[in-house]
Structure 1
């Protein structure tokens, strides 16, 4: 049974989420503030987190940053903050999705299922299980990335994008395919998500993120992974 941690101080919303999630066979844990959430994540190890940003003791973005220091558990933000800047701040911190309040319960459940599916399902690939470049190594079996001898922490969404791109080195992967495979049909036109996550991957993997050698943009079309890169070009 999938365990969901709901981090929210609105008791009516927590009750509605608990009823709907339990009716669909999710196990539900609750935390009313950031401190309780972090303790529960350590002790209970949830499979996915639903996180409000406006917590009474700390900002939800700080919770995301803390969790991302040691865990890849999917994090879906639930927030009344609607601005693009707030969404990007949460995604940059390591959130996997962002749902604005008020929201449709059916849409939230679809996004929740997509997040857990990304965590569980491997990407079919013809790539070798170990991909080695001049700057980093990707172990597709162990789901690990190393730069030198240091591990690189990727969120589940970042990892899923990297798996898809590395499955066919040198080949263009369209924006639409990436959006459909990683986020689902609801996000088929949300190219801003790709820009945010590709920027995050480049910051973590590229020696010069502003002039990527491995994660290449084909403007208006998509992205490709170059295993044997040529000269760096502006991203």
Structure 2
């Protein structure tokens, strides 16, 4: 089978500020740009080539994918961008710092929202200008299926549709695929690939722009998973 590589986007400005980002369209920092370029150089050096690149609808994954492909001299690679690969929607927490939310709700509750599998944060109001129902980029998506706040479990279920309808069929054709992901859409993919227990996947963590490489059999069962940790990366992830 082909290779599947999942790379979390480079550091964003709100990663740096420890803010709940979710579906907010926050761009990369200068450090995040260099992280994505390092990932591209590492993949090129290792001899990877891809038939398809997939991103979310948010610029931090799109720009990271461009930078990776640029370093691989492969910007001709077809790219699909889809909202089902967006970060987990943090609802009313969006834009607030972790410290602010701990002060308001308590550390135990914030920990459950950050690292629980089925804990859903307070929802964002649909009339909020930041709600996906108000954004032009999602105008073709039925309003009722766009989230206003999600648990990791919710994120897994929406990513599952993208996996079943788009990603798995391409892999079954023996094609190589790279996905530029977010921390929680990456966790969702890992859950679908490995059937990882709920509590374990909620704590599964790969730092920004460290490629996660999967070897799969013809039934898309995992034969091998490895992280390309021999490239420069932060010692701790900025995933909230």
Q: TM-score, normalised by structure 2?
A: 0.31
TM-score (norm 1): 0.31
Larger strand share, 1 or 2:
1
Larger radius of gyration: 1
